[in-house]
Amino acid sequence: MSEPTDHYFTAEPATPEERRTIEVTLDGHRYTLTTARGVYSPDRLDPGTAVLLQGAPDPSPTGDLLDVGCGWGPISLTLALRSPGSRVWGVDVNRRSLDLARTNAAAVGVDNTTFCEPDDVPDDVRFTTIWSNPPIHVGKAALHALLERWLPRLADDGVAHLVVQKHLGSDSLQRWITEQDWGLRCTRLSSAKAFRILEVRRS
Question: What confidence tens digit (pLDDT) does each residue in 117-141 have?
Answer: 999 999 999 999 999 999 988 889 9
Domain count, the chain: 1
How many helices (DSSP H) and strands (DSSP E) are in the chain?
A: 5, 9
pLDDT tens string 13-68: 768 899 999 999 999 999 999 999 999 999 999 999 999 999 999 999 999 999 99
Domain that includes residue 100, residue range? 45-202
- The three-point CA angle 48-197-194 to 5° equals 55
Mean pLDDT of the chain: 94
If one counts every other C-beta atom within 10 angstroms of the C-beta of residue 178, the result is 15
Q: Stretch 171-195: mean pLDDT, rounded?
A: 96
1 within domain boundaries: no
Q: Write the burial class of residue 43 (CB in 10 Å: 0-12 exposed, 13-18 middle, 19+ buried).
A: exposed
- pLDDT of 98 strictly over 90: yes
Has residue 109 been placed in a domain?
A: yes
pLDDT of res. 161 = 99
202 phi and psi, to 5 degrees?
A: -65, 140
Q: What is residue 3's predicted lDDT score, i.e. its pLDDT?
A: 40
Confidence label for 1 from pLDDT (cuts 50, 70 and 90)? very low
179 occurs within a structural domain? yes
Is 39 among the domain residues?
no
> Is there a domain that residue 155 lies in?
yes
Residue 162: which CATH number? 3.40.50.150
Q: Identify whether 8 is part of a domain.
A: no
First to last CA, the chain: 55
